[in-house]
Amino acid sequence: MFDRDRWQEIWSSLAKNKVRTLLTAFGVFWGIFMLMIMLGSGIGLQNGVTNGMGDMATNSVFMWTRPTTEPYKGLPRNRRFYFRNEDIKALIDNIEELDIISPRLEGGGRRSGDNVVYKKNTAAFSIFGDYPEWNLIDPANIIKGRFINDIDIAEARKVAVIGQRVYEVLFEKDEDPLGKYIRINGVYFQVVGVFKPKNSNINFGGDKEQSIHLPFTTLQQAYNYGNIVGWFALTSKGDLPVSIVQDKAIKLLKERHKVSPDDARAIGSFNLDKEFRQMTGLFTGIKALIWIVGIGTLLAGVIGISNIMLVIVKERTNEIGIMRALGASPAKVISQIVSESVVLTTIAGYAGLVAGVFLIELINKNLPDAASQDTMFLNPHIDFQVALTALLIIVVSGVLAGLVPAKRAVSIRPIDALRYE
């Protein structure tokens, strides 16, 4: 393996025709290079999408009401109904798989015109009534102050937690908003917190930075919603699929509001767990496709090396005959040819690996910080295990590329090889 004469012979053989050697090696270089670029880009895309989800609970489902599409128990179709406060306790008591429940209301969105006033500044923002649990399902970074708490809910306090963009529009730069009062649809609320959303890819009711959270009970009272609930956000316990909670909740709510069990549209829902699993499956498929395309490109280069090695064997037929005549065993001849193939493949493949990783790191270094702006492409990189796998593929490819020419070399009888011109 470490015979100096053998290595000199390998280098001498590869150096006889430098242009041919370089062009042949380029096929392997390009295959590994493109494989690294595609794998790094795939990881960057996946990171961008998952980062956009922040710390949002992926095992969550969101449910709301819609007009019924079927008559039921004497009630007509196209009947409008609403979830109620009493449904909260019913869901908790009857669904043991349920972990977190957060009812929500929307109080006059931005489409209704300017609805928020502070001093001389007016603007239109989305207004939501929430429970503290909402921040467990769709977390936000609290920049100043705090989020809604249980006391706010119990006492129906007139407090508000505003998005960062709301703060920028209504308040002067460096002005402390905490303790200040803003007027929302004619009602004054004290600002107790400022938040920045952790995710941007999933929105309910508009841009999160341009929204205001009020205590759920306060919004019900201040705007005469009675005991109406706009929609529910639910999560499941542990690793249980949230679809279990979803099915049980829909069945229970249909029974409570006299909706036909066969009415598939009366209760709308969005299963984030299902969407997340589909997205994970999509990226798994993308990775598999990348490996197939990358290895296919690499194999094209390997076939090129194998063909060139056949040419080299043909050129060295006389030399191989002399080796065999002097007592060289078939194994030694095969080892020599395979070694030349492995060396050529490994050097070209390693160069492609280094170039690919370097380019991915260069792109990553020049990407904007995820904290500074939303991006769908984030932190592309090559995992160490992937790099090791690629190196293993390179070596195995080199062996495979050399086997056919090596067998061709030993299949020639020494006497025929000596006569070959």
Would you say 154 and 132 are in contact if contact means Cβ atoms under 8 Å apart?
no
Q: Which amino acid is at 306?
A: S
Distance CA 7, CA 13 (A): 10
73 falls within a domain: yes
Residues 137 and 259 in one domain: no
Render pLDDT for 209-245 as a digit per residue (tens, 0 to 9): 889 999 999 999 988 899 999 999 999 998 889 999 9
155 falls within a domain: yes
Find how far residue 70's CA is from the centre of its chain.
40
Residues 112 and 99 in one domain: no
Low-confidence winner among 170-184, 264-278, 326-340 (lowest mean pLDDT): 326-340
pLDDT of residue 375: 64
Residues 290 and 415 in one domain: yes
Distance CA 366, CA 380 (A): 11
Token pair for 6: 């053998």
Which of 187, 207, 222 is where one domain is finished? Answer: 222
First to last CA, the chain: 31
Question: Residues 242, 244, 249, CA angle at the centre, nearest 5°?
Answer: 95
Q: Which domain holds residue 218?
A: 108-222
Residues 218 and 236 in one domain: no
Distance CA 151, CA 157 (A): 8
168 - beta bridge partners?
none
Sign of CA dihedral 131, 132, 136, 140: positive
Residues 334 and 357 in one domain: yes
Question: Looking at the 3D structure of the chain, how many domains does it have?
Answer: 3
60 falls within a domain: no
pLDDT of residue 209: 87
Render pLDDT for 71-124 as a digit per residue (tens, 0 to 9): 998 899 999 999 999 999 999 999 999 999 999 998 865 455 568 999 889 999
pTM here is: 0.71
Would you say 337 and 405 are in contact if contact means Cβ atoms under 8 Å apart?
yes
Token pair for 165: 């963009």
Other CB atoms within 10 Å distance of the CB of residue 420: 13
Residues 233 and 329 in one domain: no
CA distances for 52 relative to 1, 42, 178, 201, 340, angstroms = 52, 16, 28, 5, 49
